[in-house]
Amino acid sequence: MIRPVVVVTTVSRDGVPNAAVKTNFMTVSSMTRYAFCCDPQHHTLKNILDTKEFVVNIPTEDIVDKVLKAALITINPCPIGVNEIEKAGLTPIASEKVRPPRINECIAHYECVLEWYREKIIVGKTVAVSVDESLMEGKDRRKMMLISGGDTDSYGIVSQIKRWPRVPT
């Protein structure tokens, strides 16, 4: 199974930013709802339950070192009050509709409000989307990162898009 790598950002009730690398992320409804799993011990879940907001940031291969650093920082909960975004060398920028910041180095951002959760599963409704203009214009060659099933020490990239074959009607 191949899954995209994303960085979910949240803020605590006190406004302290938090970041968590997720590879168990999926689109629930085309660009309107997203879901991922989160360990109940992590600040990400607590922050989402407290504030009802989060941002899904889409990284690309050119920042793999920073994403890996963020993953290593956030694999175990950091002490409360640590800004994991800046600690990973990433740049927080203000979001349009929610309190958690977007990550400047990421190519796209889905600002979400909590729609529902059960145990470890979080589903958010998208309230704002931002995408790097160069990507929209087809000028950007950065590629999204993917990770495969149990192989956590390697990743892949989205490198080619193919059209579906025409089905005779």
pLDDT digits (tens, 9 = 90+) for 22-55: 878 888 887 789 999 998 888 899 999 999 999 9
Residue 103 confidence (pLDDT): 94
What's the pTM? 0.84
Residues 125, 118: Cα–Cα separation, whole Å: 15
Task: Write the burial class of residue 167 (CB in 10 Å: 0-12 exposed, 13-18 middle, 19+ buried).
Answer: exposed
Domains of the chain as residue ranges with CATH? 2-157 (2.30.110.10)
**Mean per-residue pLDDT over the chain, rounded:** 82
Residue 160 confidence (pLDDT): 58
